[in-house]
Amino acid sequence: MSIRTEHVTLSAGDGTEMRAYVARPEGTPRAGLLVFQEAFGVNGHIRNVTERFAANGYLSVAPDLYHRTSPGFESGYVDTAAAFENMRALTETGLEADIRAAHEWLANAGERQICAVGYCMGGRVATMAAYTVPIACGVSYYGGGIAPSQYNGGVLDRLTELQAPMLYFWGGLDHHIPKESVRMITDSLTAAGKQFTNVEFSFADHGFFCDERTSYNPQAAALAWPLTLSFFELHTAAKTQPAGA
């Protein structure tokens, strides 16, 4: 499927403007998709992922979550100091405003069904999207900062507010997100009676989906990709079935 890409400017509720990378599928989209970045900005990898989703039929938008501190920031995976400085400057209020702005853009584009996916810190933002805006479902890849971490206090206390099914991917070799953090998340979701699916690749490390990182694991990435697409298809199709179907 051929796609078209562009940058658009979104207006957040706090009066700031945010650039977003958009990938449009050919024809009528299956659904809209919020794509949330890693700590390294809307870089080449995130743009590529956004385009891959568009090639599978999703009108995909990747907002620049660093627009308040370093608009247009992107980096590779070696010099991480600037990326983490920007990440530490993020606030829950600001992220919620950015989620709403990107969601509104998709809704104004005519998308009735909208999903969310995020990578690393974006996995936390995809989780936040499930209690901030109406989405059909969300997917979090090795989401840092859902449980308390060295960078923020986490959002465990907000998981009771989730309004959409979630799919979580973790690497069993991930030292950035210890198993205890994963247990805190799954225990909180279970206690709240939320619908979620938890997948751990025992042989994979943090960042296993990113083919630009040394931690890339092609086997785990190859397994996670169709699971992600199936999850989106399941939950968008379920909400568009006619009554009695």
Domain count, the chain: 1
CA 214 to chain centroid: 21
Q: Is residue 245 part of a domain?
A: no
Q: Walk across the sheet containing 31-36 and list its strands.
A: 3-11, 17-25, 58-63, 31-36, 114-119, 137-141, 166-171, 196-201
Q: Is residue 131 part of a domain?
A: yes
Q: Is residue 61 part of a domain?
A: yes
pLDDT tens per residue, range 8-53:
999 999 999 999 999 999 999 999 999 999 999 999 999 999 999 9
To the question of pTM greater than 0.85 for the whole model, the response is yes
Query: Do residues 47 and 17 lie in contact, with contact meaning Cβ atoms separated by under 8 Å?
Result: no
Q: Please give the backbone phi and psi of residue 111, each rounded to the nearest 5 degrees, phi first.
A: -85, 115
> pLDDT band at residue 244, thresholds of 50, 70 and 90?
very low
- What is the pairing mode between strands 166-171 and 137-141? parallel
pLDDT tens per residue, range 175-200:
999 999 999 999 999 999 999 999 99
First to last CA, the chain: 30
Q: Is residue 74 part of a domain?
A: yes
Which domain covers residue 66, as residue numbers? 3-238
Q: Is residue 244 part of a domain?
A: no
Closest CA to 164 of 185, 134, 144: 134
DSSP conformation letters of 9-74: EEE-TTS-EEEEEEEEESSS-SEEEEEE-BTTBS-HHHHHHHHHHHHTTEEEEEE-TTTTTSTT-B
> pLDDT band at residue 239, thresholds of 50, 70 and 90?
low
Say how far apart CA 66 and CA 224 lie, in whole Å: 27
pLDDT tens per residue, range 56-106:
999 999 999 999 999 999 998 988 999 999 999 999 999 999 999 999 999
List the CATH number of the domain containing 48: 3.40.50.1820
